[in-house]
A = this chain, B = another copy of it.
């Protein structure tokens, strides 16, 4: 890639290019930026990665990533124990938290059911979800899964699995996103928004 740059730089570029969003070219740019800012960026990033590697773990209750187990959300006494929001991955949990519209507990599935990718129920944290949902005091499980085929397959499977738990199972509303111009929206979204229309 950079024939003359020495194996240390080559290795750095090759690892950086494995990050999502970085290809070989942007990995080279990132490596150069790091090497130019050794004290402000390269060394702090190396340290932050090693800190994350030693300190961050998966919460055994909900599956989120945190430096404590149970995680800060599971440990927060102010949050509503009667609501569990099911998300595919930690990234979705972070997005929900940024939106600030939910103050209950979470459950990270760790993926979606997918016949194509060979992901079955045993590969996901479904058993512990049913256990948590069956506990005293849980009223509602909200499925915040992607509006994709795999997301919907998983949602149906979870709804069935949770039937015995005696909780209501809901899912996020579908409709026109905030700032969404009808011109740019796909037909499926428009059709769903029309079917789910409500008084203005």
Using a CB–CB distance below 8 Å, which chain A residues touch chain B? 1-9, 11-12, 15-16, 18-22, 26, 28-35, 38, 41-53, 55-56, 64-68, 71-73, 89-91, 93-94, 97-98
Contacts and interface: CB of A to CB of B under 8 A. Distances in A.
Contacts of A6: 55-56, 65-68, 72
A73 B4 contact: yes
B22 A30 contact: yes
A29 B49 CA distance: 14
Contact of A5 (B4, B20, B21, B65): B65
9 contacts: A2-B98, A6-B72, A11-B48, A15-B44, A15-B48, A19-B22, A19-B41, A42-B49, A49-B49
A31 to B, nearest CB: 8
B35 A26 contact: no
Contacts of A41: 15, 18-19
- Find the residue from A46, A68, A71 having the highest chain B CB count within 10 A: A46
B20 A65 contact: no
Nearest to A42: B53
Contacts of A97: 2-4
Contacts of A46: 46-47, 49-50, 53
